[in-house]
Structures are given as structure tokens and as C-alpha cells.
Structure 1
Amino acid sequence: MVFCGRVNPITGSLDWIEEDENYDYHQEIARSSYADMLHDKDRNAKYYQGIRAAVKRVKKRGEEAIVLDIGTGTGLLSMMALKAGADYCYAVEVFKPMADAAIQIVKANGFADKIKVINKHSTELTLGPDGDMMQRANILITELFDTELIGEGALPSYEHAQHNLMQERWEAVPHRATVYAQVVESHRLWSWNKLLPMQSDSGTIQPPPEMQSCPGAPSVCDVQLSQLNPSDFKALSDILVVFRVDFSEQISSSSISHVVNFKLLANGAAQVVLSWWDIDMDPEATINCSMKPGWLYPALHPVPWRDHWMQCVYFLPEEKKVMQGEEICLIAHQDDYCVCYNLTKPSAAERSSAESPACRCGAHITWNRARFGELNDQSRMDKYKEALKKILTPSSMCLCVSDGSLLPMLAQSVGAAQVYTLESSSMAQQLMDKLLQTNQLKETIHVLQKSPDKVTMADLQDRKVSALIGEPFFTTSLLPWHNLCFWYSRTALTGNLAKDCTVLPISASLYVLAVEFRDLWRIRSPCGSCEGFDVSIMDEMIKTSLDFRESQEAEPHPLWEYPCTALSDPTKLVTFDFREKVPTEDMTAEGSLNLVRSGVCHGMVLWMDYQLTEDISISTGLLQVSDETGNCQWYPHRKQGVYFFSSLWNPEPAPTYSQSSVTYQLTFKPQLGDLRMRFIPK
């Protein structure tokens, strides 16, 4: 056993947890995307077609087909090559658990004598009788791509392999990749990147100027663009070809800028670049695998679903007002691992900076994209304003406990006499100071960078808190109940609270819903076989890793990106009363919920609803269920918890589906800040 130090997202403390020495191994396997990739029939079929065509071209030249498969994973592509007629394969996998699995899978399928699995990075391979490879290869097969195409270091790996491991003439599968982009205006997407002005009772809360001019975070925002409604953006350009990479030619990983001139389709504000790529598996481009979003497919055309490759949202360094018919230049700056975009006049293209964006204001380091969206949600903030008006008076002594919240400014705007706010880090404190200074509130709102248990009466100028407020939101939170950190903070602050102190929110309730996912279930579904090859060993590894803990855990997922159907009514499991201190005894709940629709029940979704006042509440989960279809609408700025059943379950079809139910057992352990759950379909 080993001890691992981890921040407890509920209590906020550093806990030393005793774990099995194989804990990290199981975590890597459980969180891998191998099941998702193995279920991607479109990807697998296109690779198989491309590999067969490449082997055929080599054989037609009278040569032996020697394959180098970089990033082999399960060994699937190497086995495809052997089945297509290749003579020998070198299958390279740097992640040891996967290399071990590939050895077993290759052996189980009868290819152990013709596939050599090598547990190394491809740049470490050696040639020769005593080396990893007896001879150079003439077919290069890779699956080194991510949502951004090159983010997993594909270009350096290709460059090294082509110079050191391939014959003078080689075939590549895939043969080429093409990156596409479209410039758009989108209030919804832009609100993920900038803090927008917000209306309060005393005026407008303005973002700091340095936040508005900041180029933002350097990392790409990957998202299931198929779930973005086309009405959420205005296209300012056609779909542009930005650059191509031909994998059958010598590749350079050196930085380069790609310049694309185009005419604007409409007036607007250029804010965002949407991007995706496709790969041609053969030189003639007859075998194509595309990552384009669903709304670009013809009506009724099946849209391949994949979560390992999504689409990209890039935020331009600054918003640019543009005019229809104007000629403008989109520049993609590409290095060996990432791409960033800039928009400029054609005459200024040569002077465009090739530096990747880097946050200068602190906000893009402190807040993620969903948090920006939540802070910019005016309708949500209006509910907080309404609730604050009900509880605050000119004599209120108000303390806010939430990370990077606008509630202190709203509390001041509705008339609170004194407002304090706790921030968990020095960067968060600096960010809040900038906000207050911009809005001339530094003299009326006081920022404390302290943990709740360290706050003294002297910090509060010897006044008791009459109103404790929070959203609640904490940057360490991953799952909905992690924001119970507010409850622990309230408990730690008890000595600083007035006897009649009002707490907002009053309480939080944990809800659950049984669902059928359209596609998300694939990431946890066994594969058994793939393209005729037995990969069940991989299923066993994933299942063992998922069952590694005593009971299953929920996973955080932004469900607005993953359509699902409600099979039950939403059910309240337990309520946490913030007016009282955290109890010392376990809180338990058990019962059952009936299914009200037929379908395949893939699992349960959990979320929190907050009761701000007796008559005002907000939800971080289910917003609406269609009466006709059962389709769910989810709150887009928080992740919901998803508990997958270990095996898919198909309840009785209508009209007897009402006899089906799910029993639940839930235990909240206050001393550990741990929520344990078990759901059993009946």
C-alpha cells in the first residue's frame, strides 16, 4: 500500500489516503478512451480500408510489406495489417499497461509470430540484428491524433520515423490530413472567454480592461460542436482549408504560419474560430474519415459519434468588427504541438505575431470556460439579485464564501452595509482586487485570502456576520456535491456568525434521474470484438480498473454535450441544510424509483439544486424534460455526475415498463467529506 496526498474537494483540506500500489495504473486504464475508440466503427472501418489499400500498393511493387504501427494501443491496426496481407509488423506503444494488453490481444488472435509489440517511445527505437527492428518499414500506420490533430506530438514522431525508421519509399495510413476553420460571431462561445458587463442595481459591473485585452488561455477548447445549435453563432466566413499534412512525404515539426485570405460573408464581430479536421486514408482521397460537426451532414445522414476526437473552439486574441465583402486574413500559427489563430488585414499578415496566446490577466488561469459562462449568465445572476434583496438590509454584515464570485458586488449594489469575501488563493485575491478597483468598490468590499477556519473577529472588524452567502462554487470541485465545501466553511465560521445569521443558499438537494444515453454509454460499454478481432482482454482490464474501488463512483460530464432521454422522474435523494452545522453522524438515504419510459437504462445522472430563499431556487442539473420525447435539457455551465451501470440493462418494454425500478443506497460521510452510492436496477 502507498499513501497519496490529495486535496479533498469537499473539505478543502489535504488528505493522505492509503491506496493500493496499482492505484495510478487503474486510474489510467479506467479514464482511457480505448473503449470509445474501439466503438468508433467509422474510424475502424476507414483505417481497415486504408491499410488494405496500402498493403496492396506495396505488394504490387513486388516488395514485402513491413509495417511500423506507432501508438498501437490494443494492437488493432497491426492485426488489420496482418489480415490485409502484411508480412511483419512492429507495434510500438509507450504506455506499459497497454503494451502488455496488446501482447495478450495479439497472441489471442494468433498473430504473435508476426507482430512484435515494443514498449518504447518511437523515437527510442533502434535498428539492426540486436535492435528493436530488424529492418526499416515501408508502411507507416499511426493513430497519434487528438482533437487538435497535432496535440499528442504527432509531427515530431512522424519526422523521426520518416528519417530513421522508414525505407526511402513508404506508404502512410492515413495518407494526409486537412485542417478546416470557420470564423464566426457567437455571444454564447465568446462568453466562455471574456467576462462581460453585468447589470446590477447600482449600475453595470465592468470587467477590468486588462481582462478584456487579454488574449486568453493557450489551450484549445474541445467540444462536441454537433450539440451547439447553429443559431448560436453567425458564420462570417466560408469553411476554409487552413493547412494540409501529407504523411507520405517528409514532415517537419518546425513552427510555421499558414495564411488564408477570404472575403467576409456578413457584418459582425469576429470572435471565434471553429475548427476540425479530416484524414484521407489513401492517395486518391476515396477513403475519408471526417471530424466535421453533425450539422454539416445532409439531413437523415448518420453522424459518426466519437469522444476521443471532437471539434475545436479557438478564441481570437481580441474581438474585431468586420464588414460584409471585406477581404481579411486568417493566420494559423502552428508549432509541433498546437495551433492558434489571429485575424488581420492582408497587408499586415507578415507582421502578425506567431506567439501562442498566454493569459496576462489571471482570469483565464483561475476560471475555466464553464465558469466564464456561468458568471456571464445574466438570468442566473438575476435570481441571486432577487434573493439578496430579500435577505439584505442597510445594516447587513455580509460575508461571501465562493471562489471568484460576483455576489459580493451584487450584495453591495442592493445595499449591504459591509461586505467581505473569502478567496482561496493569492491569484484569486488579485483577480478580485482588480474587479473591485475597476468598479470603484475597493473601499466598500474587503477581500480576505484565508481559509474559513482561520478567519478571526479582527478580520471582520469585530462584527458578527449577519448574512453568509455563496453560489456555491469552488475551483477544486469536480462533481456536484463537492461544492458542499460551502457547508464545511459555514461550520468553520460558526463563531463568526450572529445568532440570527441568514445563510444563502438555505440548502442543497441532491437529485437523481435514470437515463438512456444516445452515445455516451459507449465509453463504458464492453467491445468483445472489433472488426472481427477479439479485444475482450481490454474489456477485462477496463472492468477491473472500474471495479478497483469498493463501489462504483460517479464521473463528471457536461451533459449538454451528450444527449439523453429521461427514463424516470427526477427524484430527490437527500437535502443538506446549510442553516445547521455539518453533522457528525453519517447521512443515509435509500429507496427506489420507478421508470416511466421504456428504453435501455445506461445509468443515473446526479446533480444539485440550491434553495436560495424559501421561494427562489437554481439548478445545476436538469432544466427541462420534453413531455413527448423525454429528451433532457441540462444546465450548460456545470458538469453533472454520471453513474454508469456495470452492464447495460434493458427493462421490460411498454406497456409493462412501469414495473421496472432502480433501488438506491446513499451514504454521506461527513468526517471524510465522501459521498458513497450504489444503484441497482430491478
Structure 2
Amino acid sequence: MPNASARPKHSRRARRRRREDSARNELVSSSLESAQQCLFSQDYGTAFVHYLLVLNLAPVFKDLAKESFRFTLFKWAEELDSVGRIQDLFDCYEQALEVFPADEVILNSMGEHLFKMGFRDEAAGHFHKALKLRPDYPEARENFYRVANWLVERWHFLMLNDRRRNQKYQQAIQKAVQSGCNTVLDIGTGTGILGMCAKKAGAAEVYACELSKTMYELACEVVTANGMDGSIKIVHMKSLEMEVPKDIPHRVSLVVTETVDAGLFGEGIMESLIHAWHHLLLPPQRGENEFREPSATGRVIPAGATVFGMAVECAEIRRHHRLCVSEVGGLSVAAAGELRSPVSCSTEPDDSMEPYTTERLSRLPGGYKPLTEPFTALNIDFNNVQELEGLSSREVQKLCLPVSQEGELDALAVWFQLHLDEESSLSTGPQEDTCWEQAIYPVHDAKGFVLKAGDELIVEVSCRDAYLRLCSVAVLRDGREIRLDKHHDSGFSGNPVSVPNPEAELCSALACLQTGQNLTKDFCMLECSEMALLNNQDYHRSFCSAIGKLISQMKVKCLNQEQGSTVQSDCSDLLYVLDVSEGFSLLSLIAASHGHVKAFSSVEKTKQQEVIRRLARSNNISEQHLEFWLNHTEDEQGMLKRPSREKLWSAIILDCVETCGLIRQKLMEKASLARCLLEEGGRIFPERIVVYGMLVESDMLLLESAVQGQEPTLGFNIAPFINQFTVPVHVFLDFSTLECRHLSETVELFVLDLMDTNANYTNREVKVQATAAGRLTAVPFWYHIHLDQEISVSTLNQNSHWKQAAAVLQQPLEVRAGDWVLLAVKLHKSTISISARVVDAPGPTE
């Protein structure tokens, strides 16, 4: 009977479950005990496996074991990281997130590892998820702010705020669609704005691609919010990987793109368009007399570009790309060999070098001087695939440029005019009100060479590796050619100088030829910020004085102790100085130059260590007094520990401020550890940092920080989505050239005491009186770095290698002259945040 057969089955099933439950409970119990024992014995890998088993079998233990599980995961991840088992590390995090998919702490920690490995897109996704789960989670918020600048670069905001640029693109797309281009592909869609313009103009089909995962997800959100998710297909891939009919059903009649950088070709527009013409676009119209249906032909917006350039003198560019000083902190640097930045252009491609950097010429501190009139370097037609394909193999073009005024040759500055169609164009020139920077090709080989009015500068232009390359190779003066490039086979091959007669000029050329081989052999590359640091004489002089004072004091102290003590002390022992600066630093060598010092340097790169050794020899510093600390240190955490023979440090040099203008992460933790490693009377350099700031009104900072205004961009709702990536602190700021109105005097905002932990705080309120009426939009800030009580350097100094930063207010604050503004300044893990409100005047005791 059906009922009779059903009952026994049910009964057997119940009995089997009870036996399974009993065995499971026993396994969970023993695994939990094993996990705790392994944790106690610091066997984190085994403990992690046991915890995973427990939490998968018995989810009821999740709340109880969460903290221990996190601790175990993080410790095991540290071990895996230290031995380079990166895949295993991420596998563990994936397993942990399967158990705790909504754990903001695990998400944030995995994001930190991803960011450390260079996976910025993925890291940001994890930080973003952590913030959505817990908006007040400070660690995730700080991490997200730091990574947001890379993911959604500030130029996105500037471009969306550039109404003129947006309208011109919209008009060009509308004209093309209305003339018959009704199938469209938007390459590098970003926020999706150009694709939406095409759809709004009436295109029947619109496709888009985006490589950045963050921008792809953002574009999908924007398109959906504007009701076009069913009519615009966005794919997360390079256009070079797209195929018909796999990714789009057929070839399109219009490609729209703005995958151009300041040097025009740096974002790969040439490769993208060549591939598009061969695989994604309909063939172009062959000629004016050949009739073809508009829908059967393909075209590109922008239609082409004209590239312009000029030679310039600019001290700011010079000091970031070549050595401009003969001594650093009392050390002669003549033996350093050739030091230069990684930005160097030659007609022969070099993978170790970037052909150009970018600057906004109108904002360079100290300005610039044009040495030639603007010249046309290149014309390119994006609708001519043969021209695009032939560009890389085109012969090097030589241009002869008349020099219009005397000056030192520091760089070639380059910009372009983007021709959207036959009627409309956009210029990225230095005199334009534009969101674009200019491409800068610094000149290394002509160190100190002065061009004179009447000279002719010979510039070579090429595109051999799909980058636009401009190289200053020679100067024609009084009928003679003076070579500026060292690698040429004849003529001048070193650093030519202006000399009064041909005989002296020939001697100079022969001398350069003799030393050219050594210069090439001793070549060493430094980052642009490291070059600027070497050229920062004020900083090195100040440090030399401060370390010299300390060493003298320590020697006197030792002698006094020796004289006043019955126990014999040994003052012949060396003083130990540790420099843990980031990147290339000569501070350890400067310390060793004072004598009686064993200095430890944190410089890691072999070539850079060779430079320091050469400088030590040439400045009569024994190699026994200099050691490269990280050569003997396996992990970063071991940087701060006792030197050999258990002797404590006399001085520890900390790198406190990032070049971008922010306090270095974990600075206070490093200072706390460093204090424990100092001998009596020893000191941390710097000992104190004072943060200064000022109230300003700056529309430019607002435009670079978020999409402004209440009106939709070209009628599209974009701002709420991209403004999620707004960061409250603007970095890499040149305050001396910032377009702003000062609304107050300079005011002290915060103090970080690296020598006295009891003097520190995390919050401070500062009352500032407005000296002018206006809209308070931001508080730029900078640092006075106190090496000791009397000696300090400012990051606002004109020769500083540091930039400044600014806290941008979420909402501008209207102030009148005489108003008092209360600034609430907070420091969390080296991140400064500032909020402001108008308050009553302070009382007599304030």
C-alpha cells in the first residue's frame, strides 16, 4: 500500500540524519578545537583550513568565530605574501568571502592586497563594496579615496564640466547620424556620454566598449539611469579584441572615440582605428565622384588632428628631468655620472623610457618662455586607413625651426587640434581654456645649452612605435651644425656649451667625445620627483645642518659622560644613522660625511646604489661607513629594527610626506616604533610636522573634483554616478599657480610630533577669520617640516620637490569679510579631512 511504503522510508531517513548529525557535530567540535590550538601555536595555515571546515559545516558558529577567523586569515595572508604565494593568498580570500560575503573588513583587506599587487580596478571594487556595507568604515573610505584618483582620473570631471567640448562632440555626432550613419560604435566609452549622444541623435543601433572595469560598470549604470539600457550594448573589453558577429552583429557606419591623450597617440587610437577599419567599420567613401549610399560607408569622429609644438625654456621642467646642481648637502655630485628622469625621447624606441610627460603649461610655477614660434609637427587623417598604417613606417621628418628669442633649451611642448569633422574642432593649446594638458618632451642631452635668436633648431618627428616622438637633435649657428644628441655618430656628442670661437668649440666637442663612453656607462635613471628632490638645495642644506648639530651634540655628550664617570666609556664607537626614505636619497651619505657615523641607506636599486658608492668615494667617505640596509632585510616590516651588535640608533630619518602632498601612510606607527629604537639623546628626523592652510575660493578645484551644476550634462543624468568617485582631498596641487581668491591669512591647522607621542591628537578645531567675502570652496594645505627646534623646510617652497594638497568642501560656504570660520580638522591613519562652518567671534580667552 502507498501509505505503508511511505512510512518506513521516512523513518529510515530520520534515523540516518541523526547519525550524520552526530558525526558532523563531532567533526565540527574537533576541527574547532584544532583551529584554536593551531592559532595558539601560530600555525595559521592549518588553523585557517580548520576554521573553513567548521564554518561551512556549521554556519551557526559564524558570529562566534568571526573575529578569530578574520585574525587567522590576515595572519595567513601575511605569510603567503611574504613567500610570494600570491595565487594561494587570493584563493584564501575568495574562500573567506564565500563564508562571509558581506564582511566589510575582509573585503577591505582583500582590496589592500589587490592594490599592492597593482590590480587597482579590482581593489576599488572591494573598497566600494565595503563602503556600501558600512558607509562609516574609515579604513575602507581612506583606501577608496586613495585609489579613486587612479580609477576615475580627475580629467573625467573636467571634461564633463567642459560644456564647449561636450556640445561640439554632440553636434558632430548628430550631423553624422542625420547624414545616414545610423549604426555606431563608441570606443573607450567612459561614462557612456558619446554613445548616448548617438542614440539621442536617432542612431538605430549603438554599441560601446570600455576596458576599465570601474568605468564599464559606471557606464552601465549611467545608460540604465537614462533609459537606454535596452538600446545601447556595452561590452567590457578592448576594441582590438572585438569581432563581427561575435561582439557586434555587423560592421558599423560610425566610430566615435576620444581615446587620445596629451600626446595624441598615447592611448592607442592608431591601433584601435586600424583594427576598426579592418574589422568593425564599413569601408570609407572612396572619392568625391564615386557614388555610394551613406549607410554603406564608414567614418570616424574625430576625423583627424593637427599636432603643434614649440621649444621652451622652463626651470620647473628642467629641475624634474636633469641634475641642475653641482653639490647636494655639501657633497660634490660631479662623480654621479649621468642622472636623468625616465622621460626621454629619441628616434629609436626604448622600452625603459617614456617619450613624454604632461604638464599644464599655464600653471607651471615660474612660467615658461617660448624659444620658437609654434610649428606644425604632424597632420593625420583618421578616415584614411592607409595613412594610419603608414604612420609608423613613415620616414623621420626633419624640421628646421627659427629661434625667436634667447633662452636655455629645456623641452619641446606639444599640443593638437582635434578635427571632429570638416567644420568643428577642439584645441588643446596652452592658451586655450581647456581641460587638456600639453605633452612635454624634456631635453636631457643639451644640458645648459643656450639658444640664441637667429639660431635654427633641428627637430626630428617620428611615430615608429605608435607614439608621437619629437627629438631636438641639433642647432644651426653661423652656418655650423652643433649636435645636441649624444648618440649621433659625428659632430658634437656630449653636452655642448656656448663658446666664443670655432677652435674652442672643436676642443669642447673632442672633450665630449672622450667622456661620452663613460657617461653612457654611468647612466642612471631616477623618477621625476627624485630628480626634483636632488635639485632641492634648501632641503639638503637644512638636513646637513640639522644632522651635523645632532652628531656634535652626541659627541659632546659622550665626552662629558666619559669625564664624569669612573666607568670607562668608549666614545670611539660610531654613531648609527638609519635612513628609511622612499626611493633615491642621499641623506645617509650626507650623514656619513660628518665623520664618526655609520650610515644605513634604504636605496634598493643596484644602479642607484652604484651612484651612491661613487659619490662616497669621490667625497672621501669610507665604504665601511655606508651600508645598504635593505640588502639584508627580507621583508618591509624589518626596516625598523636594531642595528648589529644590539646598538641603538642615534638618528632615524623618516620620509614623512608623499610627493603628491599627503602625509605618508602609517607615518605615526613608524614614528612610534622608531622612538623605541633610539639611544638616549637620539632623534627622529624630522621631529615635528606642522600643517598650515588657508581659506580659498577656487572654481577650478570644484571643476576638477566633481561634475558641477544642477543641469544634466547634455541632457543626460551622469553626475550622481561619476560623483561617487569624488575625493575630498585634491592632490598634486601647485598652490602658487592655482586659480583662486585668498579668503584668509595662513593659519596653523595641525601638529604631528614624531618625538613625543603624548603631544599628539586626532582632532582639532581651528577658528579662522575671513579677510575677504566669497564662496569658501577649499582649504589648501602644506607642511613645515621641523628637522629640529631651529631648522625647518616648507613644502610650499618654490624649489620644493613636494606638491600641495587641498581639502575640497562638499558644499561651498558663503563668507563675508570678518566672519569667523570654524575648521574641524581630523587625522585618521595619515589622512587629513577638513569641514567648515561659520561661527560667532571667539571670546577673549580663545
Shared fold (TM-score, shorter chain, > 0.5): yes
Q: Deviations over 1:222-281 (max 9, x none)?
A: 11111126x754444332222222111102274655423214415655342211222112
- The answer to whether the Cα contact below 8 Å between 1:569 and 1:596 also exists between their aligned partners in 2 is yes
TM-score (normalised: structure 1): 0.77
1:681 and 2:803 matched: no
> Equivalent residues in 2 for 1:231-310 (5 A)?
232-250=367-385, 251-252=388-389, 254=392, 256=394, 258-265=396-403, 269-283=408-422, 286-294=423-431, 303-306=432-435, 309-310=436-437
Q: Deviations over 1:552-590 (max 9, x none)?
A: 75342232463333323333233233333x469864423
Task: Specify which of 320, 323, 339 is matched with residue 195 of structure 1.
Answer: 323
Letter in 1 for 2:437: M
> Equivalent residues in 2 for 1:249-648 (5 A)?
249-250=384-385, 251-252=388-389, 254=392, 256=394, 258-265=396-403, 269-283=408-422, 286-294=423-431, 303-306=432-435, 309-319=436-446, 321=449, 324=452, 325-345=454-474, 364=525, 367-388=526-547, 390-393=549-552, 396=555, 397=575, 399-401=577-579, 402-403=581-582, 404-411=584-591, 415-423=594-602, 425-427=604-606, 429-443=609-623, 445-450=625-630, 451-458=638-645, 465-466=649-650, 468=651, 470=653, 473=655, 479-482=661-664, 485=667, 491-494=672-675, 497-527=678-708, 528-530=710-712, 532-535=714-717, 538-546=718-726, 554-560=729-735, 562-580=738-756, 582=757, 587-621=762-796, 637-646=801-810, 648=811
Indicate the residue corresponding to 2:242 in structure 1: 125
Counterparts in 2 of 1:502 and 1:289: CA distance versus 1, 3 Å = same
- The answer to whether the Cα contact below 8 Å between 2:749 and 2:825 also exists between their aligned partners in 1 is no
1:39 and 2:39 matched: no
Letter in 2 for 1:534: F
Alpha-carbon distance in structure 2 between the residues aligned to 1:480 and 1:64: 49
Counterparts in 2 of 1:228 and 1:574: CA distance versus 1, 3 Å = closer
Task: Specify which of 221, 224, 228 is matched with residue 364 of structure 2.
Answer: 228
Counterparts in 2 of 1:542 and 1:68: CA distance versus 1, 3 Å = closer
Alpha-carbon distance in structure 1 between the residues aligned to 2:601 and 2:534: 17
Letter in 2 for 1:525: A
Alpha-carbon distance in structure 1 between the residues aligned to 2:695 and 2:341: 44
Letter in 2 for 1:223: E
Letter in 1 for 2:254: I
1:205 and 2:312 matched: no
Counterparts in 2 of 1:336 and 1:533: CA distance versus 1, 3 Å = farther
Q: Deviations over 1:458-489 (max 9, x none)?
A: 38xx5x655x264x53697755321874x655
Indicate the residue corresponding to 2:276 in structure 1: 161
Question: Secondary structure, in 3 states, of the residue corresponding to 2:773?
Answer: coil
Who wins on radius of gyration, i.e. which is larger?
Answer: 2
Q: Deviations over 1:628-649 (max 9, x none)?
A: xxxxxx7752132332222x32
Deviation at 1:619, TM superposition (A): 1.2
Question: Secondary structure, in 3 states, of the residue corresponding to 1:318?
Answer: coil
Alpha-carbon distance in structure 2 between the residues aligned to 1:7 and 1:75: 30
Letter in 1 for 2:321: N
- The answer to whether the Cα contact below 8 Å between 1:558 and 1:636 also exists between their aligned partners in 2 is no
Alpha-carbon distance in structure 1 between the residues aligned to 2:125 and 2:425: 49
Counterparts in 2 of 1:37 and 1:424: CA distance versus 1, 3 Å = same
Counterparts in 2 of 1:426 and 1:118: CA distance versus 1, 3 Å = closer
Alpha-carbon distance in structure 2 between the residues aligned to 1:611 and 1:167: 65
Alpha-carbon distance in structure 1 between the residues aligned to 2:696 and 2:281: 49
- The answer to whether the Cα contact below 8 Å between 1:42 and 1:304 also exists between their aligned partners in 2 is no
Greater RCO, CA 8 A, separation 6+: 1
Indicate the residue corresponding to 2:183 in structure 1: 66
> Equivalent residues in 2 for 1:21-40 (5 A)?
22=129, 27=147, 31=153, 33-40=155-162
Q: Deviations over 1:64-110 (max 9, x none)?
A: 53322212223322333344454443233334554454445445545
Indicate the residue corresponding to 2:302 in structure 1: 174
Alpha-carbon distance in structure 2 between the residues aligned to 1:64 and 1:186: 46
Question: Secondary structure, in 3 states, of the residue corresponding to 2:110?
Answer: strand
Counterparts in 2 of 1:274 and 1:434: CA distance versus 1, 3 Å = farther
Letter in 1 for 2:318: W
- The answer to whether the Cα contact below 8 Å between 2:589 and 2:612 also exists between their aligned partners in 1 is no
Question: Secondary structure, in 3 states, of the residue corresponding to 1:168?
Answer: coil
- The answer to whether the Cα contact below 8 Å between 1:243 and 1:258 also exists between their aligned partners in 2 is no
Counterparts in 2 of 1:352 and 1:140: CA distance versus 1, 3 Å = farther
Counterparts in 2 of 1:352 and 1:496: CA distance versus 1, 3 Å = same
Q: Deviations over 1:162-202 (max 9, x none)?
A: 11121222332211112222223444322111233344686
Q: Deviations over 1:379-398 (max 9, x none)?
A: 44344444455444397536
- The answer to whether the Cα contact below 8 Å between 1:393 and 1:416 also exists between their aligned partners in 2 is no
Alpha-carbon distance in structure 1 between the residues aligned to 2:216 and 2:664: 36
Alpha-carbon distance in structure 1 between the residues aligned to 2:205 and 2:656: 53
Q: Could you say what the CA RMSD is over the residues aligned between the two structures, in angstroms?
A: 4.0
Alpha-carbon distance in structure 2 between the residues aligned to 1:257 and 1:488: 57
- The answer to whether the Cα contact below 8 Å between 1:603 and 1:643 also exists between their aligned partners in 2 is yes
- The answer to whether the Cα contact below 8 Å between 2:330 and 2:544 also exists between their aligned partners in 1 is no
Gaps of 5+ in 2: 1-105, 116-122, 131-142, 285-297, 345-351, 476-480, 490-519, 556-574, 631-637, 839-846
Alpha-carbon distance in structure 2 between the residues aligned to 1:197 and 1:79: 53
Alpha-carbon distance in structure 2 between the residues aligned to 1:17 and 1:126: 29
Alpha-carbon distance in structure 1 between the residues aligned to 2:335 and 2:114: 31
Which is further off, 119-128 or 103-112? 103-112
Alpha-carbon distance in structure 2 between the residues aligned to 1:213 and 1:553: 31
Alpha-carbon distance in structure 1 between the residues aligned to 2:438 and 2:754: 40
Q: Deviations over 1:303-352 (max 9, x none)?
A: 4241xx31122223512646544445312342455334333259999x97
Alpha-carbon distance in structure 2 between the residues aligned to 1:635 and 1:71: 39
Q: Which has the higher helix share?
A: 2
Question: Secondary structure, in 3 states, of the residue corresponding to 1:433?
Answer: helix
Alpha-carbon distance in structure 1 between the residues aligned to 2:474 and 2:174: 46
Q: Which has the higher strand share?
A: 1
> Equivalent residues in 2 for 1:660-675 (5 A)?
661-668=821-828, 673-675=829-831
- The answer to whether the Cα contact below 8 Å between 1:429 and 1:449 also exists between their aligned partners in 2 is no
Deviation at 1:159, TM superposition (A): 0.7
Counterparts in 2 of 1:271 and 1:604: CA distance versus 1, 3 Å = closer
Deviation at 1:291, TM superposition (A): 0.9
Alpha-carbon distance in structure 2 between the residues aligned to 1:426 and 1:586: 37
1:77 and 2:240 matched: no
Question: Secondary structure, in 3 states, of the residue corresponding to 1:533?
Answer: coil
Letter in 2 for 1:612: L
Alpha-carbon distance in structure 1 between the residues aligned to 2:761 and 2:627: 34
Letter in 2 for 1:556: V
Q: Deviations over 1:97-130 (max 9, x none)?
A: 54454445445545556544344332333334xx
Q: Deviations over 1:522-552 (max 9, x none)?
A: 13333454553122xx332334455xxxxx7
